Amino acid sequence: QVQLVESGGGLVQAGGSLRLSCAASGSIFRFRSVGWYRQAPGKQREMVATSTSSGSANYADSVKGRFTISRDNAKNTVYLQMNSLKPEDTAVYYCYMFGRPDYWGQGTQVTVSS
């Protein structure tokens, strides 16, 4: 059983930055792809960024050039650096671990004010 615990969300003005962290329990983190997803009110959950076990990253078009996903396998932690935040980035951000079974974190709120 794996637990994913996100932190780092909050309220920020447009143009600001936040860094989200997701710490995983257990010993399988280094072998799994992980990602960040988000869900805004009234919208479906969407992929923001993913990272393979070796660190290859993929981004949604809406965040390319502004967000960076990284991981520290020694710390069982994945990060999401978010720069140049926009009001449309407001959402609950979830950490996700791919695989069978897969795992979700509880989510952290990010609110960007205009």
pLDDT given at position 2: 95
Q: What is the mean pLDDT of residues 46-57?
A: 97
What's the pLDDT band for 57 if we cut at 50, 70, 90?
A: very high
| Strand residues in 10-98 grouped as ranges (E) | 10-13, 18-24, 34-39, 46-51, 57-59, 67-72, 77-82, 91-97
With pLDDT > 90 as the criterion, what percentage of the chain qualifies? 99
Q: Up-side HSE of residue 84: CA atoms within 13 Å toward CB? A: 7
pLDDT given at position 3: 97
pLDDT given at position 63: 98
Q: What is the mean pLDDT of residues 47-73?
A: 97
Cα separation of 112 and 114, whole Å? 7
